[in-house]
Amino acid sequence: GAGVSQSPSNKVTEKGKDVELRCDPISGHTALYWYRQSLGQGLEFLIYFQGNSAPDKSGLPSDRFSAERTGGSVSTLTIQRTQQEDSAVYLCASSLGGPFGAEAFFGQGTRLTVV
Amino acid sequence: AQKVTQAQTEISVVEKEDVTLDCVYETRDTTYYLFWYKQPPSGELVFLIRRNSFDEQNEISGRYSWNFQKSTSSFNFTITASQVVDSAVYFCALSEARNAGNNRKLIWGLGTSLAVNP
């Protein structure tokens, strides 16, 4: 597609339920990031995929969070047993990757509300 | 360690004023890239500029200009004659070339919220 696509755009879930957030990066982009942005806060890095390399998971806040990227394209972020503090906007971005800095293109995010 | 600091949390100006958003970074590398992004109220982050560490020339794009100073590790962003549509959160970010491959990622500042009032 023309840009990074995220779905759903909004998700309301009950505490304790699992949720899956999807990201469709720009075709050809080898790098994919997940970030979390709480209300009025900056970007919190969660996980980074680059090509076929093992992902950098150093930003995942707990073992309830996991992500995968299938076929080097679509990525799914899964939050198990959601808690109220998981409520935030989850942003996905993709870039060309490579040895030098390439700008990241962001999706519009998924607003997650845990009630 | 890599770090990006945007000391100004919030700035409020009146339309037509000039405003400068500060960004200070820390890195041990000689090769790196710096970025500015805009996040309007709609939420989607929009890329504004990328600058590599070997190019210290200032850049101007319309009412936007950027001042890159390696001596002070700063990459400041100025909006001239601000407009209400400039109201947004602006983020500065750093990408290090040495992290090419498995651990390369953008390091973000916490953002500066700019309000331009009519």
Does the distance separating the beta carbons of B33 and A100 come in below 8 Å? Answer: yes
What single DSSP character describes residue A55? P
What is the SS3 assignment for B11?
strand
Distance of alpha carbon A87 from alpha carbon B59, whole angstroms: 38
Among positive and negative, which fits the CA dihedral A37, B49, B98, A106?
positive
Band (pLDDT 50/70/90 cuts) for residue A104 is: confident
Q: Is B108 exposed, middle or buried (0-12, 13-18, 19+ CB in 10 A)?
A: buried
| Residues B107/B5, Cβ–Cβ less than 8 Å | no
The pLDDT profile of chain B, 118 residues, written as one tens digit per residue, is 678 999 999 999 999 999 999 999 998 878 888 999 999 988 889 999 999 888 888 888 999 999 999 999 999 999 999 999 999 999 999 987 654 444 456 888 999 999 999 9
Residues ≥6 apart with Cβ < 8 Å to B113: B9, B10, B11, B88, B89
Q: Which residues make beta-bridge pairs with B113?
A: B10, B89
**Beta strands per DSSP E along A14-109:** 19-24, 31-37, 44-50, 65-69, 75-79, 88-95, 105-106
Does the distance separating the beta carbons of B102 and A54 come in below 8 Å? Answer: yes
Does the distance separating the beta carbons of A89 and B52 come in below 8 Å? Answer: no
pLDDT score for B59? 87
Half-sphere exposure of A60 (CA within 13 A, CB side): 17
Helix (H) or strand (E) holding B49: strand B46-52
Q: Is residue A100 over pLDDT 70?
A: no
Q: Is residue A64 over pLDDT 70?
A: yes
Band (pLDDT 50/70/90 cuts) for residue A71 is: confident
pLDDT score for B103? 43
Over residues A85-91, the mean pLDDT reads 96
Does the distance separating the beta carbons of B101 and A45 come in below 8 Å? Answer: no
pLDDT score for A1? 53
Q: Is residue A101 over pLDDT 60?
A: yes
Over residues A76-88, the mean pLDDT reads 97
All residues of chain A having their beta carbon less than 8 Å from the beta carbon of residue B35 are 101, 103
All residues of chain B having their beta carbon less than 8 Å from the beta carbon of residue A48 are 103-105
Q: Which amino acid is at B26?
A: E
Q: Pick the residue with more confidence: A72 or B94?
A: B94
All residues of chain B having their beta carbon less than 8 Å from the beta carbon of residue A50 are 101-102, 104
Beta carbon pairs, A and B, within 8 Å: 63
Percent composition of chain A: helix, strand, coil (DSSP 3-state, to 5):
5, 45, 50
| Residues A8/A77, Cβ–Cβ less than 8 Å | no
Mean per-residue pLDDT of chain A = 91
Q: Which two tokens stand for residue A97?
A: 């990757």
Distance of alpha carbon B67 from alpha carbon B30, whole angstroms: 18
Over residues A41-47, the mean pLDDT reads 87
